[in-house]
Amino acid sequence: MLKRGGRSRLLRYIDILGPWVGVILCFIVIGSLEPRFISPGNISAIIVDASTYILLAVGMTFVITGGGIDLSVGSILALSGVVMTVLAKDTAIDPILAMVVCLAAGTLLGLVNGLLITKLKMPDIVVTLATAISYRALVHVWIGARVLAGLPPALTYLGRTRLLDGLLPVSVIVAVLVVAVADLLLYRRTRFGRYTIAIGGNRTAAIHAGIPVDRYKIYTYAFAGFMAALGAIILAGRFDAWNYAFGTGKEFHVIAGVIIGGTALFGGLGRLWGSLAGVLLISMLVNGMVAIGVSYFWQPVGIGAAIILAVAVYTITGRRQSRGVGGGE
């Protein structure tokens, strides 16, 4: 029998390493059923596809760690991407400036979410659901069914360029670097990270401790908007185009990945490397189900099962939801 301390350490290892074990098992099981799944070309495609989701998951990890939820990140990605591509194609603006405007637009849209939540004292889920619908509607009004194709080379660099003779996509490098920097921001004693964890762990205690709760909640939503806009730059570059459907449903993929990755559902604990693993696992499941011929309509069942399993591990390992549990990976 394991002693109590040993059992706690074991459960913590399971909690942290679980998403990565899931990635490995997914690779082995689906690869044994369909060898094409583990071909270098397909694995590269999965990782490149996941890179956009990883960027969105970074912002979502901060939001959920702070006790919130954001259903609008897919729509923010879509609208900020439209701003960038329209500027790049229909005006003489420099493509680099168009990307800067895209990042500013995403940050502003996230800021609107934060302001509505904090100033009107409305539930996060209601506000972000409403803005998700509104932002998506603006995309439809602005470009309709048009496909904005043929972007300037500067806009496609991050999404399409590969280094080391095509083996290493730049988009993957960007995603991993962003996760590393965000992990430092959340868990290496920055005020933004400490306050986000404290607010999500116990909002009342954070208020009594003098933390400007509303201000930092606004910051987390603005940060999530910024990350969605960065995802838009990667996505536009990858396809060398933009259309109204980009970003549709991405918020559910991202939220599922963050939950599977070990971020506490009700705040106080965020795991950014776990979010990376969770998003990668979801991308592998989707790709793998296509590879083995699972019907499109059954694919959400597999993703739902993965979420249920993750929450089961969450419960077994005793990860507390309503109390901050510090510590990165």
Question: What is the CATH number for 95?
Answer: 1.10.3470
Confidence of residue 7 (pLDDT cuts 50, 70, 90): low
Question: 110 is written with which tokens?
Answer: 């996230």
Whether 106 maps to a domain, the answer reads yes
Q: Is residue 9 part of a domain?
A: no
- Does the structure show a pLDDT above 50 at 226? yes
Which residues, at least 6 apart from 173, have a Cβ–Cβ distance to it below 8 Å?
A: 163
pLDDT at 316 over 70: no
The answer as to whether 174 is a domain residue is yes
CA distance 72 to 68: 12
Look at 23-27, 144-148, 323-327 and tell me which has the smallest mean pLDDT. 323-327
End-to-end CA distance of the chain: 27
Q: Domain range spanning residue 146?
A: 41-316
Mean of the pLDDT values across residues 147-168? 85
Q: Is residue 54 part of a domain?
A: yes
Least confident stretch, 22-26, 59-63, 73-77: 22-26
What the block records as the tokens of 226 is 């910024």
Residue 277 lies in a domain: yes
CB 224 within 8 A of CB 27: no
Residue 329 lies in a domain: no
The answer to the question of residue 241 being in a domain is yes
What pTM, to 2 d.p., does this model score? 0.89
Q: Tell me, what's the pLDDT at 320?
A: 46
Tally of domains within the chain: 1
